[in-house]
Amino acid sequence: MEKLKIAIQKSGRLNEDSIKVLKDCGISIDNGKDQLKASARNFPMEVFYLRNGDIPQYLKDGVVDVAIIGENVLKEKGGNIAVAENLGFSKCRVSLAVPKSSTYAEIKDLEGKRIATSYPNTLNAYLSGKGVQAELHIINGSVEIAPNIGLADAICDIVSSGSTLFKNNLKEVEVMLRSEAVLAVSPMIAEKQREILEDLRFRIKSVLVARQSKYILMNAPNDKLEDIIKILPGMRSPTVLPLAEEGWSSVHTVINKDKFWEVINELKQLGAEGILVCPIEKMVL
**CB under 8 Å to 20, separation ≥6 — which residues?**
none
In a domain, 284, yes or no: no
Distance CA 114, CA 123 (A): 12
Cross-strand pairs, 46: 5, 39
Q: Which domain holds residue 127?
A: 92-179
- Residue 92 Cα distances to 181, 235, 249, angstroms: 9, 30, 44
Which value, in Å, is the radius of gyration of the alpha carbons in the chain?
24
- Residue 253 Cα distances to 107, 209, 256, angstroms: 48, 15, 10
**Side-chain-side CA neighbours of residue 24 (13 Å):** 21
Give yes or no for a contact between 145 and 125, defined as CB atoms under 8 angstroms apart. Answer: no
Residues 102 and 160 occupy one common structural domain: yes
Q: What is the pLDDT of residue 106?
A: 94
Residues 29 and 63 occupy one common structural domain: yes
CA 171 to mean position of chain CA atoms: 24
Residues 195 and 67 occupy one common structural domain: yes
Q: What is the pLDDT of residue 263?
A: 86
Task: Quote the pTM value.
Answer: 0.85
Residues 17 and 78 occupy one common structural domain: yes
3-state secondary structure the chain: CCCEEEEEECCCHHHHHHHHHHHHCCCCECCCCCCCEEEECCCCEEEEEECHHHHHHHHHHCCCCEEEEEHHHHHHHCCCCEEEEECCCCCEEEEEEEECCCCCCCHHHHCCCEEEECCHHHHHHHHHHHCCCCEEEECCCCHHHCHHHCCCCEEEEEECCCHHHHHCCEEEEEEEEEECEEEEECCCCCHHHHHHHHHHHHHHHHHHHHHCEEEEEEEEEHHHHHHHHHHCCCCCCCEEEECCCCCEEEEEEEEEHHHHHHHHHHHHHCCCEEEEEEECCCCCC
Distance CA 123, CA 17 (A): 27
> How would you write the pLDDT of the chain (285 residues) with one tens digit per residue?
799 999 999 988 899 999 999 999 999 987 665 778 999 999 999 999 999 889 999 999 999 999 999 999 999 998 889 999 999 999 999 999 999 999 999 999 999 999 999 999 999 999 999 999 999 999 987 899 999 899 999 999 999 888 889 999 999 999 999 999 999 999 999 999 999 999 999 999 999 999 888 899 999 999 999 998 888 865 667 889 999 999 999 999 998 888 888 888 889 999 999 999 888 888 887
Residue-wise pLDDT tens digits, 254-265: 988 888 888 888
Q: Total domain count for the chain?
A: 3
Residues 204 and 232 occupy one common structural domain: no
Q: What is the pLDDT of residue 257?
A: 84
Residues 218 and 164 occupy one common structural domain: no
Give the CATH number for residue 60: 3.40.190.10
In a domain, 221, yes or no: yes
How many CB atoms sit inside 10 A of residue 70's CB? 24
Residues 96 and 220 occupy one common structural domain: no
Residues 30 and 162 occupy one common structural domain: no
Q: What is the pLDDT of residue 25?
A: 94
Residues 174 and 187 occupy one common structural domain: no
In a domain, 285, yes or no: no
Residue-wise pLDDT tens digits, 154-165: 999 999 888 889
In a domain, 48, yes or no: yes
Residues 218 and 245 occupy one common structural domain: yes
Give yes or no for a contact between 115 and 154, defined as CB atoms under 8 angstroms apart. Answer: yes
Give the CATH number for residue 244: 3.30.70.120
Q: Minimal CA–CA distance to 28: which of 11, 17, 12, 44?
A: 44
Residues 173 and 186 occupy one common structural domain: no
Residues 228 and 261 occupy one common structural domain: yes
